[in-house]
Amino acid sequence: MASHVVVNDSLQTNYSYRLDQAYGKSFDPEFIPQLTPKQMLELGVFGGWYLNDCQAEFPNDWFVHAKISMNSPDPKLNFYEVKASQSLGEWQRKGWIYPDDPRGWFQWYCRYYMGRRLPQEDARQIKRWKAISRHIAQLQKNCQAGDLNCRPVQRQALLHWAYDSRLL
Domain ranges, ordered by start, for the chain: 3-133
Residue 110 buriedness (CB in 10 A; 0-12 / 13-18 / 19+): buried
Q: What is the pLDDT of residue 12?
A: 94
Cβ neighbours, 10 Å, residue 81: 13
| Residue spans of the chain under pLDDT 50 | none
What pLDDT, on the 0 to 100 scale, is given for residue 42? 97
Output the pLDDT for position 1.
59
φ and ψ at residue 47, rounded to 5 degrees: 60, 20
- Residue 138 pLDDT: 92
* Per-residue pLDDT reduced to its tens digit, 62-78: 999 999 998 889 999 99
